[in-house]
Amino acid sequence: MLLPLNDTIVAVVCQLIDDSKAKLAGGDYREPTHSDIEFCVVQAGLASLDPKQQGQQIGKAKRVRAVLHAAMLDNEDAGARLVHSLLAKIRACGGFRPGSDNYAGAEAIANAKSAFESEGFFLSDDGAVGAKVLSALKGAELTAALQAYAARAQRGSQDAALVAGTGKDLMEATAAHVLVSIRGDYPESANFKALLGMAFMALGLAVPEQPEESGEPPIKPLERALFLAACAANRLRNKEGTGHGKPWLPKVSDSEAKAAIEVAGCVSAYLLAKLQTRAR
């Protein structure tokens, strides 16, 4: 599972690495060192984006910020791998351990934990990081976590297609959550199309089986189209699952998979928005 990568995540990772205040106060440099950062950057395949490789002499936080921001535009997956590598190095150096010479500080750690939390991930006190097991979440907390997955899927993030800890398609997990929120449960044996249809109808959304009515709101044809697109995207899924690699049928190209992921994000986000509107 790739970690999330956005402006907030970049900011908190840089805070964990930044030792400029300590140096200004006459303190010692903290690990990870520039050499450690270079190793992580090269390992992630992002050396061409590293300002140090271009002869610039800048601090560690500015260096990491430059690489990650560039990766957000050109290679988000590699940037996500760099975030994971940097967090592992910070942890190994004692950055999450109070009393360590390399301790990043309570505020920086709290900010990082909050940032990952908002993306559906956990960052423990000792620096372990991973996706939340969504099957353990309920109510508003699950809604927020699914919204984070949907936002990542809308950006085409490959690992957002399946919801961590459940093996479910993002849209399937969202549909089940809608039904539990409205009816208290959902039919676990229902196929994807039936489950999604029940969720659409529970929210008062139009499905293709409902014929167009004269004078109906213009959003209704779009809702039917979203339903059809969701079912088509789901059919591209590799239902067998290999436990690794892409969750797509072998003949699905990267561009086709990306389109399907974005559809999943769009449909899931729409369902969750309607669910929240209904709850108000």
What is the band of 68 on the pLDDT scale with cuts at 50, 70, 90? Answer: very high
Residue-by-residue DSSP string for 107-133: HHHHHHHHHHHTTTEEE-TTS-EEE--
Give the contacts of 143 (CB within 8 A, at least 6 positions apart): 177, 181, 272, 275, 276
- In angstroms, rounded to a whole number, what is the distance separating the alpha carbons of residues 95 and 126? 9
- In angstroms, rounded to a whole number, what is the distance separating the alpha carbons of residues 203 and 272? 10
What is the token pair recorded at 28? 């010692």
Q: Is the sign of the CA dihedral 40, 41, 42, 45 positive or negative?
A: positive
Q: What is the pLDDT of residues 178-198, one digit of tens each?
A: 999 999 999 989 999 999 999
What is the band of 240 on the pLDDT scale with cuts at 50, 70, 90? Answer: low
> What does the DSSP 8-state code read for residue 80?
H
Q: Which helix (H) or strand (E) holds 27?
A: none
Give the contacts of 215 (CB within 8 A, at least 6 positions apart): none
pLDDT at 20: 77
**Mean per-residue pLDDT, 238-245:** 52
pLDDT surpassing 90 at residue 227? yes
pLDDT at 272: 96
Q: What is the pLDDT of residues 153-173, one digit of tens each?
A: 887 776 665 564 455 688 999
pLDDT at 154: 83
Predicted TM-score of the model (pTM): 0.69
